[in-house]
Amino acid sequence: MTQALDEIKIGGLGASRKRVEDDRFIRGKGNYTDDIALPGMLHMEILRSPLAHARITSIDASKAWEIPGVHLVLTGDMMATRNLAWMPTLSYDTQAVLATDKVRFQGQEVACVIADDPYIAKDACEAIDVEYEPLPVIVNPTQAVADGAPVIRDDKENQADNVIYTWEVGDAAGTDRAFEQADVVSRLRLHYPRSHPSPIECCGSIADFNRATSKLTVYMTTQAPHIIRAAVAMVAELPEHMIRIISPDIGGGFGNKVPVYPGYVCSILASILLERPVKWIEDKTGNLISTGFARDIYLDGEMALRKDGKILGVRMRCDADHGAFFSDAQPSKFKIGLLHSAFSAYDIPAAHLRARGTYSNKAPGGVAYRCSFRVTEAMFFQERMMQAAADDLGMDQAAFRRMNFVRDEDFPHRTPFGFLLDSGQYRKCLDVGLQAVGYEDFRKRQAEARAAGRLLGIGISTMTEPLGAGNSREYDILGIKMFDSAELKVHMTGKAIVRTGARTQGQGHETTWAQIVSHELGIPAEDVVVEEGDTDTAPFGMGTYASRSTPVAGAAVAMVSRKIRAKARKLAAHLLEVSEEDVEWELGRFYVRSAPDRGVTIQECAMAAYSNMPDGMEPGLQNTAFYDPPNLTWPFACYIAVVEVDPATGVWDVLSVVAVDDCGVRINPMIVEGQIMGGLTEAYAMANMQFITFDAEGNCVGSNYMDYLLPTAWETPGFELHSEVVTPCPHHPIGAKGIGECAAVGGPAAFVNAVIDALSGTGVRNIDMPLLPDRVWEAITHRRDVSGAPPVRTDD
Ligand code: CDP
């Protein structure tokens, strides 16, 4: 029998193939939205509000209109004549496209100018005279619900206060009973600060309405082109088949490029009005102050504990500050996303969560920055709470976690908040991590260092998270059910093209989707081209965010490959002149069961599909598969950081980081490692340096790269990665679980826990992120918790 082709050699599952897309990126040949220039193209700039809360008393754009080269000035009133001054958000709220009545956050879009070039447009924006009447400003939930607080959303009928929702989940009575039986109750309160995904490429769009064909083409930086097409069709009341969204190369998304932003809408309207292409490219400050903030949540929790360490119950309360518009791009029916995935990895009999969302005079927040809809906040709180509880019990951090983990033999496991976990080896992951970091020995080193006046600390973060929204039963965006599809065409020479509705932004889909086809069909990966991002050619999909590509679109790629294989089997039977039942499959080849030497390759079958098909068979070899996942996938990870804190300055250095990730079967181990390193880098940045907040007037502090720091290779610590724990996902066609965001979700708690561990014995339970030296120093010197909640003081 012919030997099965070596899968790794052809670039199939498990091959660390170099990313094919990198070839054009490292040569500077990427094709980003800003690289595109269309004939007759005009340029749009946005005038933003300097104030966080103010009534607009007048807008005088006459001087802007007079500037040579200006073609159009758009204001809220003009948008209103077309019913476009407001737009619906993905969370069933409304958001101002251009302000009419009031401005509600600093940086809000007030007017747009379309001109021959961006410089003229910018100058003309400055020539627009806007009169504001300042109003009191709200920058946190306490202010939002205080007596007499101004109502931010007075545009909404029946909105008498600043509360957006209250929501609860879990078993309140059962949790109360657990607390009655507790020997120890542990408490923790913290603020997960606003953070910003801050992709290197800002948002932008080029709208091109062609009056002759009535076709609207929009090139834009979106992670979800099909959803944008649906939104444009619904909001602008344009026929969906006449809208083409093209998402070219994207310079990082991280959730920032999921929502619909006013700039997109204005460029589309301007192109329709002017019948010329209109380009809008946001500047960095615009991106940092007005688009997709994440987190900003106050978490308060209690844990009921037996004195031997068993967790009996958990209570969580949260106040989420959504900013001026509730525009979270989250597809769950749960108001606070998947925050109730907290504590899923632990076997806890009872839990209850109560959440409240409020408006504030800040840019809309709640974007899932490298995160599945609040799982970052959930896992951070979980692992900070686990540390506090272990400390309260006087128990070892690792032993406390190990004792409470869901055990391998207990899957499938239903969490007290209702999720179903299918698989995992949590203890093994932890043990590999502890071994790698030298945990036993560390405690000795820590004690010796402490005696010498040095503060060493170790932080453990073990987490699982729900990745791959959705399944259509539970997840939808504006009623559109969450599933994905893939289309595969195998040409007659055996080369293939696969298209999905996902959109890579650096994750490497062009490499890994080809590997899945290769695994399923034995076609070398280099013979498979991957295309995404054009709604006229790609099949429907809900986009790429929340590490959902592999769990959903990747699964669709496997399923469509299997459909192709099923047809190829019929072709093989025809070519081999045997019945289909007598045909066996090995990678890349069908053969006759009773005569294994007689076989045909997948490429020969492809040629037959166009040249020698059996009577009655539809010619060609192409198909589409829609994939509706039965459940989310649940990867698991153990991140451990070791740090040293300088007691004199509060500066802390990372001595080592160990990461053990179990994301099931790895399609491309090298890409997976890249994803983990990127996630850990962002986790470190959030914990250590990224500071973007608001003062009492609602001014955004940190809206530039001098304050909101992106870690470079210089600051970023080294990471030791482990891949030996592999628990395939039982319901995914190739056993893969998502990985893209795990380290960004689980990583921050490892760093913060390590610093708090270094301060053990001081009574300090919490320092809010970022753990800037002055905050750590304040905690050390005053032996107290340090909050980073806004408003910040700006007078010192
Ligand atoms: O949705 P997104 O692409 O951001 O996240 P993902 O599905 O976790 O995948 C990130 C990258 O890692 C993709 O190129 C995947 O194909 C790859 N991956 C992998 O090789 N093996 C896995 N088990 C999971 C992801």
Q: What ligand 1 atom has the least distance to the C-alpha of 513?
A: 16
**Mean pLDDT of the residues in the chain:** 96
**Per-residue model confidence as pLDDT tens digits over 603-650:** 999 999 999 999 999 999 999 999 999 999 999 999 999 999 999 999
Name residue 420's beta-bridge partners: 414
Q: Average pLDDT of 498-525?
A: 97
pLDDT of residue 131 exceeding 50, the answer is: yes
* Residue from 578, 479, 484, 496 nearest 531 by CA: 496
Given this model, what pLDDT does residue 707 score? 86
- 505, 512, 519, 729, best to mutate for ligand 1 pocket (most atoms within 8 Å of CB): 512
How far is ligand 1, taken at its centre, from the CA of residue 402, in Å? 28
DSSP 289-335: HHS--EEEEEEEEEEEE-TTS-EEEEEEEEEEE--SS------BSST
Pocket residues: Cβ below 6 A from ligand 1: 507-509, 512, 544, 547-550, 554, 663-668, 671-672, 675, 736-740
pTM of the model: 0.97
HEC string of 777-796?
A: HHHHHHCCCECCCCCECCCC
Least confident of 225-239, 249-263, 565-579, 713-727: 225-239
d(CA 364, CA 95): 9
Per-residue pLDDT tens over the stretch 710-730: 999 999 999 999 999 999 999
240 Cα–ligand 1 center, Å? 30
Distance of CA 606 from the midpoint of ligand 1 (Å): 29
Which ligand 1 atom minimizes the distance to the CA of 467?
8
Annotated catalytic residue, options 95, 223, 382, 507: 223
Q: What angle do CA 778, 783, 788 make, to 5 degrees?
A: 45
Q: Output the CA 679–ligand 1 centroid distance in Å.
A: 13
Q: What Å distances lie between residue 753 and 362, 569, 683, CA to CA?
A: 29, 55, 13
- 4-13, 130-139, 394-403, 619-628: which has the minimum mean pLDDT? 4-13
Query: Would you state the pLDDT for residue 330?
Result: 82
Supply φ then ψ for residue 390, to 5 degrees: -60, -40
**For residue 201, pLDDT beyond 60:** yes
Query: What integer pLDDT is reported at residue 332 of this predicted model?
Result: 86
Q: Give the residue among 500, 21, 587, 469 at the shortest CA–CA distance from 225.
A: 500
> What is the per-residue pLDDT for 795?
66
Residues 329-386: pLDDT tens digits? 888 889 999 999 999 999 999 999 999 999 999 999 889 999 999 999 999 999 999 9
Q: What is the pLDDT of residue 793?
A: 79
Residue 27 CA, ligand 1 centroid: distance in Å? 24
Q: Whose CA is closest to 246, among 211, 292, 204?
A: 204
pLDDT at residue 66 tops 80: yes
Closest by alpha carbon to 778, among 769, 786, 788? Answer: 786
The verdict on whether 741 is a catalytic residue reads yes
Confidence at residue 1, expressed as pLDDT on a 0 to 100 scale: 38
Ligand 1 nearest-atom number relative to CA 669: 20
pLDDT tier, 234 (very low <50, low <70, confident <90, very high otherwise):
confident
Spacing, Cα 509 to ligand 1 middle (Å):
8
Task: Give Cα separations from 312 to 308, 343, 351, 455, 463 (angstroms).
Answer: 11, 12, 9, 33, 19
Residue 90: predicted pLDDT = 87
Maximum Cα–Cα distance across the chain: 87
Averaged pLDDT, 325-329? 90
For 96-130, how does the pLDDT look when each residue is reduced to its tens digit (9 = 90+)?
999 999 999 999 999 999 999 999 999 999 999 99
Residue 794 confidence (pLDDT): 72
Express each pLDDT in 171-187 by its tens digit: 999 999 999 999 999 99
pLDDT of residue 235: 78
The minimum-distance atom of ligand 1 relative to the CA of 545 is 1
pLDDT band of 548, cuts 50, 70, 90: very high
Q: Can you give the pLDDT at residue 796?
A: 57
Q: What pLDDT shows up at residue 64?
A: 98
pLDDT tens profile 371-401: 999 999 999 999 999 999 999 999 999 999 9
Q: Choose the residue to mutate in 662, 667, 729, 731 for probing ligand 1, maximizing ligand atoms within 8 Å of C-beta.
A: 667
- Mean pLDDT on 418-447: 96
**Residue in 284, 199, 209 with CA at minimum distance from that of residue 243:** 209
Residue nearest to atom 12 of ligand 1 (CA): 672
**What's residue 2's pLDDT?**
42
Q: Reply yes or no on whether the pLDDT at 63 is more than 80.
A: yes
What local confidence, expressed as pLDDT, does residue 779 receive?
A: 97
Name which residue sits closest to atom 5 of ligand 1, judged by CA.
547
Angstrom distance (rounded) from CA 644 to CA 655: 7
Protein residue with least CA distance to atom 13, ligand 1: 507
Among candidate residues 370, 401, 499, 775, the one labeled active-site is 370
CA of residue 157 to ligand 1 center, whole Å: 44
Distance CA 660, CA 667 (A): 17
CB-facing half-sphere around the CA of 269: CA atoms within 13 A: 27
Catalytic residue selected from 276, 741, 742, 765: 741
Rounded mean pLDDT of 531-548? 95
Query: Which residues 6+ apart lie within 8 Å of 789 measured at CB?
Result: 140, 191, 193, 298, 768
Q: What is the mean pLDDT of residues 25-33?
A: 96
Q: Give the distance, in angstroms, between the CA of residue 299 and the centroid of all CA atoms in the same chain.
A: 20
Is a pLDDT exceeding 50 seen at residue 4?
no
User: pLDDT tens digit string along 257-309?
Assistant: 999 999 999 999 999 999 999 999 999 999 999 998 999 999 999 999 999 99
